[in-house]
Every structure is written in C-alpha cells, then in structure tokens.
C-alpha cells in the first residue's frame, strides 16, 4: 500500500455512499474491485456484509445526517470515483477532481452536476412549501446494465487491465 488510507499501485479508488446504494449495485462494484484490483471503500452508518477481499472495505461512520458524506469528501482525491445519489456530495467531490456516478449509471459532467444541483434546490423549495414531489422510481434492469456498462467504460479508460 502506498501513500494513504487505501492506495495501492493504481491511482484511482472507488468510494461509495453506501447507505443509499442498492445491494445489486454494490455487488457489481465488488466484482469490479476484485477484477481490476482496485480499492473499494463503502461508507455507511450501518454495518452489512461485504466479501472477504483485500480490495474491499466497509467504513462505518457514526449515525447522523451527512456523516458518511463528510467522510467521503474528506478522503476523496482527484481521480477517484465516487458513487452517490446525493447531489450536494456529488457536486462537492466533483469540485475536488473526482469522477462521480450515480447508482443508476449517470456520469456527472460540469454542466450536468450544476443542472442537477439547481433542480435539487428547486425540489427542496417545493417540498418546503408543502408540495409532494415523490421519490425516484425503483431501480430497473436497464439502470443496472447502464451502471455496469458505465463503470466498466470508466475503469477501462482509467486503469490498465490487471
């Protein structure tokens, strides 16, 4: 291990906002970490089973709002990949030079992250005014495939095959 809390020979770590990450997406990430031999750290305020692997770690944070988000933001480095559905966290780590992808496979760019942040703020205002805005639809098979494809594409570009 070189230089830090989980760096090996590769330049990229994957950090996951795991409390809201679907199990099926975590399974895809486990397989990718093993295949590519890349450090995968899941941040959550609850414990759950992870595969036995020197590449996969569960970092349990204290209970409370945004505790996992703050820990991810504190540990992320430029070039890392962060998996999160949390728009403010996505914006923050994107500003730090990280790649950001949602559990549905959407990759954020400078334009899309700003648009999402504005939409999130608008929806927050609507909810505060008493409007029921609903939540996201259930994760579909197409979402799973998009996530797996996007992850593979990003990792192939960023890392040499083991």
> Is the pTM value of this prediction over 0.85?
no
Task: Identify the DSSP state of 108.
Answer: P
Q: Are 25 and 144 in contact (CB under 8 A)?
A: yes
Enter the tokens of residue 117. Answer: 């942040």
Q: Are 41 and 13 in contact (CB under 8 A)?
A: yes
- pLDDT average, residue stretch 115-124: 70
- pLDDT average, residue stretch 109-119: 77
Sign of the CA dihedral with 98 first, then 101, 107, and 111 last: negative
pLDDT on residue 22: 95
Q: Which residues contact 81 (CB under 8 A, 6 or more apart)?
A: 12, 13, 14, 15, 98, 99, 100, 101, 154, 155, 158
Q: Are 14 and 41 in contact (CB under 8 A)?
A: yes
Q: Are 89 and 72 in contact (CB under 8 A)?
A: yes
Across-strand partners of 136?
A: none
pLDDT on residue 162: 52
Residue 119 has pLDDT above 80, yes or no: no
Sheet holding 99-101, edge to edge: 56-60, 40-44, 14-17, 81-83, 99-101
Residue 98 has pLDDT above 90, yes or no: yes
Distance CA 112, CA 132 (A): 24
Confidence of residue 121 (pLDDT cuts 50, 70, 90): low
Strand blocks (E) in the chain: 14-17, 40-44, 56-60, 81-83, 99-101
pLDDT digits (tens, 9 = 90+) for 58-94: 999 999 888 999 999 999 999 999 999 988 899 999 9
pLDDT digits (tens, 9 = 90+) for 130-144: 777 666 778 999 999
């Amino acid at each position: 291990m070189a230089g830090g809390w989980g760096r090996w020979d590769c330049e990229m770590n994957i950090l996951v906002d795991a409390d809201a990450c679907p199990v099926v997406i975590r399974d895809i990430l486990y397989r990718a970490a093993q295949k590519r031999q890349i450090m995968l750290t899941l941040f959550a305020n609850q414990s759950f089973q992870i595969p036995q692997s020197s590449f996969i770690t569960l970092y349990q944070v204290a209970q409370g709002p945004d505790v996992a988000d703050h820990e991810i933001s504190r540990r992320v480095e430029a070039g890392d990949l962060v998996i999160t559905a949390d728009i403010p966290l996505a914006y923050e780590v994107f500003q730090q030079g990280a790649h950001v992808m949602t559990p549905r496979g959407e990759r954020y760019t400078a334009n899309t992250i700003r648009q999402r942040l504005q939409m999130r703020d608008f929806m927050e205002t609507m909810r505060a005014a008493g409007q029921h805005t609903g939540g996201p639809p259930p994760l579909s098979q197409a979402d799973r495939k998009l996530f797996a494809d996007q992850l593979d594409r990003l990792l192939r570009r960023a890392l040499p095959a083991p």
